[in-house]
Structure 1
């Protein structure tokens, strides 16, 4: 059996880690975390890995999405239900309109930390540590709020537990029943073109379900949904503390989430994140930006998936609309030629951020759609499988990204700009995207 050294990453450079002011307090918190129950189970991680193997084989499609940065205040029934509702609606559109099984992965129950391009933030001549997510420090621009606090790691665990408990209740307690497809839209149908389009699709699904019931078919899959959790495993002390040895297999799993990924800023081959991920047996992802070379991608495969295990490794590309058609083909060609069976997912959000004249960070929906289009075009030209999308969205009617069928202008951004970090698609924009992605998928297949 392969030997595991779960703390070997501590001897390597670890990017984007907080400067905890009290090492003794961090040690106490990590010890407490290590004694808490798992948030997910190894068998569930293996189940997701099997589904991602189908994605890599061209038999399924991933919808991964949720908040840019979760907040502790957002772990409420209303907030979780609204995000779940949007994800379910998008999944229904993709499943029905594209006739493809959809693997649903929430960017939730752990996405409490964010990498930052600068370690400090300056406002009106005052410089403080940057906000790194609720897991690390506070959003309020005060000296006391911005001090990294290890106790927040415990709050992140408990907020994740609450979120997962709510998700399991909603997805298995009747809310996710396919016969509820109209109910998910009652507050929304008259407010946007996407809502009205979804309502027409829901009517078709209702008729199909009625026909199947009349024929005696009433499958369990109609009444509940498998939704998996994921986050960027950025703060290594947190994810290491929640790594357990599975009693069945004797293998280590990061039981903070089903799927964890390495970000573009932390994918150094000789860095602590790659070393940590090399040890755990979850299905894992790596974000690949426009500077990624084919050699980088192949080296990551050798490090993270040396056994070429189906479903083990997912590459999440984040190139930017203006770069994806130039940079992605070489990566896909070399990886495919190597024989590695990775799943390819498009993150069309992070490469398309800009600052509006008002000072708000924002994204154009047209740029998001163009990057997805480029992703599909590349895979179509190479005969490979466009395996999914990874997006940042909220179930609320925010004004953070410009454009969409229910047009939001740059002058509208101030109305409901509520994100803790990066701009998110609102519910209408998310549904617009789902319909267009379904059309793109049909063109490829």
Structure 2
């Protein structure tokens, strides 16, 4: 991954190359205009003499859930230069929905390290709990220190998130907002196959954007499980994967992933949401 991101493949001028595997998709025509618009803008910037060095590569950071306390504790070290604690198992670490108890060991461990940290919040979270989490993990309101990762389910996010976002806004300490639209939308088929539905995933993403925009907050990212392979693990998308096709290339041992076609489709759909927000600002 580092070789790709540092070797020139991440160059913004290669936007059409990134989409090459998507061109045969029935949905591609819908997004070709957007891809061409990005390409023309990049070419204009280059012709104007702008410095493209910063757009040729991207930085790579690693992240994972800080679940196994023994593992995370063993890799928590003192920086000899600053004397501060850092967890060296990853750049960004998060606490899961099931282990975010305010008096629990997972919050206690991560409150001591200097890494940026996240907490997943599900449909049962309360405004009082999120303020308690801020008190524990970012009491001084340090910019970029704390991220909330919503995973509420498409049928609940529009009902639960507004009161949470309002409480954080009133508190005033900064929070980075990410959505995880996959873990709250896991289903099983009639034959017991664990899967997710593309439209349901996208519905939660849209709800996340809607609520944050209504509260003048910025959607900062998505936590998506995906692969560049042509797996058949998530229903729907423009390929219209149905339950019968799940068995063609269902390869995961843990969680169903978007394949590369579905991944590109969700990227373009999010680009449309961002464009919609620009129109609202105007």
TM normalised by structure 2 equals 0.92
CA distance in 2, matches of 1:197, 1:176: 23
- The superposition leaves residues 32-60 of structure 1 with CA deviations (integer Å, 9 ceiling, x where unpaired) of xxxxxxxxxxxxxxxxxxxxxxxxxxxxx
**RCO higher in structure (CA 8 A, sep ≥6):** 1
CA distance 1:218–1:198, shift in 2 (3 Å): farther
CA contact (8 A) 2:195 2:235 kept: yes
1-structure distance, mates of 2:6, 2:13: 13
Q: CA deviation at 1:399?
A: 0.8
Q: Does 1:275 align with 2:108?
A: yes
| Residue among 318, 322, 337 paired with 2:151 | 318
Q: How does 1:408-423 map to 2 (within 5 A)?
A: 408-423=241-256
CA 1:191 to 1:252, structure 2 compared with 1: closer, same or farther past 3 Å? same
Question: Pick from 39, 42, 46: which aligns with 1:213?
Answer: 46
One of 162, 170, 178 as aligned partner of 2:12: 178
Residue 195 of structure 1: how far off its partner (Å): 4.8
Q: Structure 2 CA distance, aligned partners of 1:269 and 1:356? A: 36
TM alignment of 1:146-185, pairs within 5 A: 167-185=1-19
Q: CA deviation at 1:298?
A: 0.8
Q: 1:385 to 1:212 in 2, by over 3 A?
A: closer
- Could you report, residue by residue, the CA deviation over 1:138-191 in whole angstroms, capped at 9, with x for unpaired residues? xxxxxxxxxxxxxxxxxxxxxxxxxxxxx22221122222333333333x1443
Paired residue for 1:397?
230
After TM superposition, list the pairs within 5 Å mapping 1:325-336 onto structure 2. Answer: 325-336=158-169
Distance 1:363 1:218, change over 3 A: same
Q: CA deviation at 1:442?
A: 2.6
64, 75, 84: which one aligns with 1:231: 64
Describe how 1:246-325 pairs up with structure 2 within 5 A.
246-325=79-158
- Give the conservation status (yes or no) of the 8 Å contact 2:22–2:264: no
**Inter-CA distance 210–382: structure 2 relative to 1 (3 Å threshold):** closer
| Deviation of 1:249 (Å) | 2.0
Q: Within 2, Cα distance between the matches of 1:334 and 1:215? A: 45
Equivalent-residue separation in structure 2 for 1:355 and 1:374 (angstroms): 23
Alignment gaps of 5+ in structure 2: none
After superposition, what is the alpha-carbon deviation per residue over 1:223-277, rounded to whole angstroms, capped at 9, x for unaligned?
2112221111111222222222123322111122111100011111111111100
Gaps of 5+ in 1: 1-166
C-alpha distance in 1, partners of 2:30/2:62? 28
Q: Distance in 1 between matches of 2:244 and 2:195?
A: 12
Aligned CA distance change for structure 1 residues 223 and 380 (closer, same or farther; 3 Å):
closer
Cα RMSD between the aligned structures?
A: 1.8
In the alignment, the residues of structure 2 paired with residue 288 and residue 314 of structure 1 have an alpha-carbon distance, to the nearest angstrom, of 10
